[in-house]
Chain A
Amino acid sequence: IVLTQSPGTLSLSPGERATLSCRASRSISSTYLAWYQQKPGQPPRLLIYDASNRATGIPDRFSGSGSGTDFTLTISRLEPEDFAVYYCQQYSTSRYTFGQGTKLEIK
């Protein structure tokens, strides 16, 4: 399953709302989709699993939604520490795949 993330780069200001998209080449069963955040020099950090469940310790400004082939990560009100690269990952098949990433940068 190929995951395509858009936009490639998103330029926003702190306090604004961010909407990141992840589209799958075929339907993902049972909403088996996760989102990760990665900052420079750090490993990825799990944010969302099963499309809409926040991982432990993740602030509630992060939310995930979607099903089938279209998924969205929303950050309701951007904090300075939210500017990073975000990846989606499908685990609908045992050959896991990631999207190419969306870079969220400060405008």
Chain B
Amino acid sequence: EVQLVESGGDLVQPGGSLRLSCAAFGSSVSNYWMGWVRQAPGKGLEWLADIKPNGRDRLFADSVKGRSTISRDNARNSVSLQMNSLRVEDTGIYYCAREVGTSGTDLWYFDVWGRGTLVTVSS
């Protein structure tokens, strides 16, 4: 059973940057799309980005597009989310999640989630 562990969350000033990491344990995630989902305090879930197994294809939500990059290291069984030009509204818990679904569609739901890492953007 794979476990996902996020790290890198911190208190950062508006305009700053953070790199979030997600390490997978117990099983390889190299053949899966991997994604990041955010939850603002007391709010719902927001999909942010995901990355294909080959690391070359990536998708971003409009809320973070142009300010974020996602990458993966299949040898280290890990995924990262680099966020720049952070805003107060980026505050929240950031979850890493494994994406699964019907092969060939590139349309996925989330079957394994990490416990999240907290990002606070405040001056």
Contact = CB atoms under 8 A, between A and B. Distances in A.
B107 interface: yes
Given A43-B115, A44-B113, A94 B107 contact: yes
B107 A92 contact: yes
B8 interface: no
Given A43-B115, A91-B101, A34 B110 contact: yes
A30 B37 CA distance: 23
Interface residues of A, number: 25
Given A95-B61, A98-B44, A98-B47, A43 B111 contact: no
16 contacts: A32-B107, A43-B113, A43-B114, A44-B37, A49-B101, A55-B111, A87-B44, A89-B45, A91-B107, A91-B109, A92-B107, A94-B106, A95-B47, A95-B62, A96-B47, A96-B108
Interface residues of B, number: 22
A99 B110 contact: no
Contacts of A91: 101, 107-109
B46 A46 contact: no
A46 B110 CA distance: 7
Interface of B: 35, 37, 44-47, 59, 61-62, 95, 101-102, 106-111, 113-116
Q: Tell me the interface secondary structure of chain A in the complex.
A: loop
Interface of A: 30, 32, 34, 36, 42-46, 49-50, 55, 87, 89, 91-101
